[in-house]
Structures are given as structure tokens and as C-alpha cells.
């Protein structure tokens, strides 16, 4: 099973580009980490546990942002498959906060309505935030139901859900937070 070989394969960036700094500026303005110190040592990607399914390696994402390959980055699987495990950020010798950069890229992709390469993962975030909007807390059964409504995958995990219910892991009645009025206004809807 240890075939981590396909890493960084499928969507290799073009080999010749005319650098365009506007995307880098947009990312930095959106609060996404200072990435210019990166010297492409690839330590981030070496320790990343998700490279086996990523199309761009984390160090390639950085390079793409630097040279302005906005489409390639925002349409990549990588920005959604990153599990926010913080290994890259912890290990980067230049203090680049790669995990935070991934967050910023997701936010830009959502704001600009880029069709997500990983709709099932975006649906998780959408369902999660909808739960917070509704009650201020997340009820796992409702979370899964919302996810199913969005992905229309009715059969997945049904047996598991039943098993969890049988063991009393799923409660029936959700509880709301009293101080939740602000959430209606503040929590964004994710399409």
C-alpha cells in the first residue's frame, strides 16, 4: 500500500510562464502568509501525509502562487485535500506558514466561485457552517444529513450511521446556543 509515488504528477504546471505578481499580491493581501522566503527545499512536501492524492505538491503551490498561476492553484485538488495537519508549517526552515496559505487559497477560490475540484470536501465545510448558523453548535447527525443533501450520495455510510446510532453515539435532539443571534448575520453561506 505504501505507493506514494504518484505524488505531484497529474497536473504538473507549465514549464514556461511569464511571471505575474498580481496573484501573489492578492494572496498576501488576503492574509495568506509571507511566502517569499521559500527557497524550494521541498521539506514541506516531503513530510506532507496527503501528497499521494495531491495534483500539486505543497512546494509547487508556493511556486505557482509566486509566478502567478492563479487558475492552476485555485482549481487544484491540493487546496482542498490538504488536511490542515500543520506538519509543513511546523517544519519549514524559513517559517513559511503553508497550512495558513492553503486556507487563504480556499477562501479566495470560494469567494471567486471557482468550481471546486473536490465538491465532497467543500460540501463538508458548507454543511458545517450551516450547522453553526442554525444553532451555534454542530449536531453530527444533522451535519451528515446536510452533507448528503449537497452531495446526493444517499447510500454511503448508511450502515455505519446505523451502527453508531445503535451504540448511542448519535443523539436525537440538537441543542442550541442562546447567544447565537450574531451568527445568522456573520456566518457565510457556502454554495
Partner 1 sequence: MDQVLSYYPGCSLHGTASEYDASTRAVCELLGIRLEELEDWNCCGASSAHAVDHELSVLLPARNIALAAKADKDLFIPCAACYGRSKVAQAAMTEDAGLRAKFGEAVGMEYRDGVAIRSMLDLLADPDVLQRIRAGVKRPLRGLKVACYYGCLLVRPPKITGAADYEAPETMDRVVEALGGTAVPWSYKTDCCGGGLVLGRPDVVGRLIDRLMTRAVEAGAAALVTACPMCQGNLDTRQKDAAQALGRDYQLPIFYISELIGLAMGHPKPEAWWKKHLVDPRPLLGTI
Q: Are 66 and 98 in contact (CB under 8 A)?
A: no
Residue 85 binds to ligand SF4 (criterion: CB under 6 A):
yes
Distances in Å between the Cα of 29 and the Cα atoms of 21, 32, 67, 128 are 12, 7, 16, 26
Shortest distance in whole angstroms from residue 107 CB to ligand SF4: 15
Residue 92 binds to ligand SF4 (criterion: CB under 6 A):
yes
| Nine-digit cell string for 134 | 442554525
For partner 1, the binding residue among 115, 154, 155, 182 (CB under 8 A) is 182
Residue 144 binds to partner 1 (criterion: CB under 8 A):
yes
| Nine-digit cell string for 121 | 470536501
Shortest distance in whole angstroms from residue 17 CB to partner 1: 28
Q: Can you give the binding site for ligand SF4, defined by CB under 6 A?
A: 38-44, 48-50, 58-59, 62, 82-88, 92-94, 96, 98-99, 102
Q: Can you give the binding site for partner 1, defined by CB under 8 A?
A: 1-2, 31, 49-50, 52-53, 80-81, 83-87, 89-90, 97, 99, 103-104, 106-107, 110, 118, 120-125, 127-129, 131-132, 136-140, 143-144, 147, 156-157, 160, 163-164, 167-171, 175, 177-180, 182-183, 185-188, 190
Amino acid at each position: 500500500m505504501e505507493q506514494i509515488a504518484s505524488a505531484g504528477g497529474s497536473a504538473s504546471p507549465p514549464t514556461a510562464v511569464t511571471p505575474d505578481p498580481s496573484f501573489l499580491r492578492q494572496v498576501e493581501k488576503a492574509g495568506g502568509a509571507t511566502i517569499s522566503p521559500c527557497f524550494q527545499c521541498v521539506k514541506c512536501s516531503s513530510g506532507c501525509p496527503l501528497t499521494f492524492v495531491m495534483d500539486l505538491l505543497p512546494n509547487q503551490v508556493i511556486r505557482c502562487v509566486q509566478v502567478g498561476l492563479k487558475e492552476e492553484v485555485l482549481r487544484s485538488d491540493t487546496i482542498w485535500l490538504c488536511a490542515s495537519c500543520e506538519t509543513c508549517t511546523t517544519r519549514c526552515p524559513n517559517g513559511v506558514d503553508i497550512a495558513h496559505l492553503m486556507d487563504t487559497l480556499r477562501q479566495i477560490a470560494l469567494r471567486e466561485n471557482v468550481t471546486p475540484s473536490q465538491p465532497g470536501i467543500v460540501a463538508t465545510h458548507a454543511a458545517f457552517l450551516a450547522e453553526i448558523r442554525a444553532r451555534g453548535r454542530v449536531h453530527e447527525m444533522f451535519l451528515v444529513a446536510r452533507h448528503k443533501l449537497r452531495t446526493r450520495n444517499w447510500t454511503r455510510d448508511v450502515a455505519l450511521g446505523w451502527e453508531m446510532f445503535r451504540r448511542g453515539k448519535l443523539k436525537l435532539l440538537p441543542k442550541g446556543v442562546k447567544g447565537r443571534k450574531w451568527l445568522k448575520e456573520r456566518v457565510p453561506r457556502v454554495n
